Structure 1
Amino acid sequence: MIAELNRVVKAVEEHLTTEAGDLDVAALARTLATTEHHLRRMFAALAGMPLSAYVRRRRMTVAAGDVVAGREDLLTIAVRHGYGSTEAFGRAFRSVHGAGPSEVRRDGGPLQTQQRLRFVLSVEGDTPMDTRIVESDAFRLVGHATRVPLVHAGANPDIQAFVTAIAPAEHARLKALSDRQPAGLLAVSDDLDPDRAEGSELTYLHGVARAGTAPDDLDSIEVPAGTWAVFRASGPYPAVLQETWAATATQWFPSNPWRLRPGPEIVAVLERADDFSTATTELWLPVEPQASRP
């Protein structure tokens, strides 16, 4: 995966101006024998930023050189870097540098440079990951769903408020509906932004996995048959869960012949402290075999 991500970085550099055309991430993923879904997820996890944000920052870094040079008008520079107007270019420029193009041309700054990324292999993995591969029939996730912003670190206050508002009797009712693996009450994230951008919206469902039909008063997510990688971890909650997800990207996927496929991400809490300060969790990620390079 490291080599593939470095090819993505090279392709970004080749498509920073409109003369080269827009970067077709889906087509690039196909040439790398993977999928756009997996490529974007792995880039975001390992780079610490979405691919779309990296492209914008690199484009504005290169554009800043043209702006400071002062040899061309701002509209010419804007069009070269993929913007149809100086207004749209100015908004993107300010979002990266904290100042507009005219200010930077006049003052020479401020400028926030995005260096070209280079992914390197770090020899880690000294702690084995407790993982199993599960083949599953089609099933449905049943419960109460809402839209919430994505939070990368720490507790998600929107999810906390949503779950707290569910009556204790309803938790018991949901748990009784569970009739298959993953068992018990589940935290489900679906419809995630491909780049996993902080603050982007996702569908969160508090519920259970069910082979049978769903009651009419509950939300439902249909899950097709497929393969799942299941990661078990114990420790401070939710930090252990967030660290487990990060480790799948930095250690497990680069070392194993699997890639993410579209589908919900499911968390099952197997054991927990009374105050939920610690927990044993299982993270279920939908996967498929990684295709061989031609």
Structure 2
Amino acid sequence: MLKEMNEALNYIEENLESHIDLVEVAKKAYCSEYHFKRLFSLLSGITIAEYIRRRRLTLAALDLKEQHVKVIDIAIKYGYQSPDAFSRAFQNFHGVTPTLAKQPEQNLKAYPRMSFQLTIRGGFEMNYRIVKKESFQVVGVKYAVEMVNEILSPTYEDMIAGVGESRLKELATISNGEPHGIVHISVNYSESVEGKATFEQYIGAVTTEKTETYETLAIPSLLWAIFEIDGDWIQVEEHWQRIYSEWLPLSSYELAEGPEILASKEQKSEIWIAIKKKG
């Protein structure tokens, strides 16, 4: 899988001066566009669109050091519709305008090309099971979340505070299905060409009870990889990285389009990811 991801990055690098079709990029990695976008974001910490933007602006800065080059030519070369749009993006990334960037001693940023490598770490066990689960219902509080430059809006702390302690306790009492306890569910993940990612975040419980107090999310029948984690939801960030960078590449499965679930109860957590057989 890592070799295929690097083939996709090679394709991007070779086409930074032309239109990059992410469907074609995903084909290089032998996976769906959704799978590629989500996997890249989880492994690298940024969206694929943001990565392409940073690489293009890095090369644009080098091009601007040429004596007779025009800003408008560089803007067109890297896919910007106007010099103004290019200048805004350039200044947001480098901190200076393209015109100032042409000065010999001006400091600029460089974002090196990325590659994926398999790193052998300490021998930590990963306890997991593969489960086929029929459709079920989650009720809870829903947030529309944006991620720009790795920053969530609203932040997760704000979301938890918005739910409040009393509603968290109420949701925990109506939990009567697996995964048990309070569940944190990310669904409908998408990315824009500007590098912004959006998704819906539910904080709630799996239940068969009817309620008009909360939002309802219907989750279809899916195959799940379920990982057992010590600690509550605050302490599991490293485990997400290990699942996607260590377990998934070596398994016979790939991501399926579906929610990502974190269930937390009594200092134990479970991470649920929707999967399907490769090929």
TM-score (normalised: structure 2): 0.87
8 Å CA contact 1:41, 1:194 repeated in 2: no
Any idea what SS the aligned residue of 1:262 has? strand
Deviation at 1:237, TM superposition (A): 5.3
Q: 2:256 aligned to 249, 255, 261, which one? A: 261
Distance change (3 Å), C-alpha of 1:148 and 1:79? closer
Partner of 2:214: 218
Deviation at 1:149, TM superposition (A): 4.9
Letter in 2 for 1:269: S
Q: Distance in 1 between matches of 2:136 and 2:77?
A: 49
* Counterpart in the other structure of 2:53: 56
Structure 1 residues not aligned, in runs of 5+: 272-278
Identity of aligned residues (%): 28
State the shift of 1:82 in Å. 0.4
Looking at structure 2, the residues matched to 194 and 201 of structure 1 have their Cα atoms a distance apart, in angstroms, of 6
Q: Which amino acid aligns with 2:244?
A: A
Amino acid at match of 1:136: K
Cα distance in 2 for residues equivalent to 1:50 and 1:144: 26
- Change in 2 beyond 3 A, CA 1:199/1:269: farther
Shift of residue 200 of structure 1? 4.8
The answer for the alignment partner of 1:10 in structure 2 is 10
Deviation at 1:136, TM superposition (A): 0.8
Q: Is 1:247 aligned with 2:242?
A: yes
Q: 8 Å contact 2:7–2:28 — kept in the other structure?
A: no
Question: 1:48 and 1:184 mapped to 2: Cα distance?
Answer: 28
> Which of the residues 28, 33, 37 maps onto 2:34?
37
Aligned mates of 1:262, 1:125 — CA distance in 2: 31
Aligned-pair distance for 1:259? 1.6
Do the aligned partners of residues 9 and 112 (structure 1) sit closer, same or farther apart at CA in structure 2, a change above 3 Å counting? same
Secondary structure of the residue aligned to 2:180 is coil
Task: Report the Cα distance in structure 2 between the residues aligned to 1:72 and 1:198, rounded to whole angstroms.
Answer: 27
Matched, 1:94 2:91: yes
What secondary structure is seen at the aligned counterpart in 2 of 1:216? coil
Relative to structure 2, which stretch is displaced further, 134-143 or 227-236? Answer: 227-236
Please report how far the alpha carbon of residue 42 of structure 1 lies from its aligned counterpart in structure 2 after TM superposition.
2.3
Q: Secondary structure at the match of 1:186?
A: strand
Please say if residues 233 and 262 of structure 2, whose CA atoms lie closer than 8 Å, have aligned partners that are also in contact. no
Aligned equivalent of 1:73, options 70, 78, 82: 70
Give the secondary structure class of the aligned counterpart of 2:179.
Answer: coil
Pairwise CA distance, 1:263 = 2.0
3-state SS of paired residue (1:264):
strand
Matches of 1:107 and 1:31 in 2, distance apart?
A: 39
Aligned partners of 1:152 and 1:198 also within 8 Å: no
1:260 is aligned with what amino acid?
L
Deviations 1:112-158 (A, max 9, x none): 112222222222362121111110111121122223455779x8221
Which ranges in structure 2 are unaligned for 5 or more consecutive residues? none
Q: Is the 2:222–2:274 contact (alpha carbons within 8 Å) kept by the matching residues of 1?
A: yes
* 2:269 corresponding residue in structure 1: 281
Q: How many corresponding residue pairs?
A: 274
1:171 shift after superposition = 4.2
SS in 1 for 2:211: coil
> d(CA) in 1 for partners of 2:74 and 2:216?
49
- Return closer, same or farther for 1:90/1:161 CA change in 2, 3 Å cut-off: same
- In structure 1, C-alpha distance between the alignment counterparts of 2:202 and 2:78, rounded to whole Å: 40
Q: Alignment partner of 2:64: what SS?
A: helix
SS at match of 1:207: strand
What CA distance in whole angstroms lies between the structure 1 residues aligned with 2:277 and 2:210? 31
CA contact (8 A) 2:171 2:182 kept: yes
Match of 2:163 in 1: 163
- Return the alpha-carbon distance in structure 1 between the equivalents of residues 69 and 151 of structure 2: 41
TM-aligned CA deviation for residue 202 of structure 1: 3.3
Would the alpha carbon gap of residues 226 and 31 (structure 1) be closer, same or farther in structure 2, given more than 3 Å must change? Answer: same
Deviations 1:34-90 (A, max 9, x none): 122221222223333322121111111111122110322211111111011111111
Which residue of structure 2 lines up, in the alignment, with residue 274 of structure 1?
Answer: none
Alignment-mate amino acid for residue 157 of structure 1: E
Aligned to 1:276: none
TM-score normalised over the length of structure 1: 0.83
Relative to structure 1, the CA distance from residue 108 to residue 101 in structure 2 (aligned partners, 3 Å threshold; closer, same or farther) is farther
Checking the alignment, whether the CA contact within 8 Å between 1:64 and 1:111 is kept in structure 2 is yes
Q: Identify the range of structure 1 (229-238 vs 131-140) with the bigger mean alpha-carbon deviation.
A: 229-238
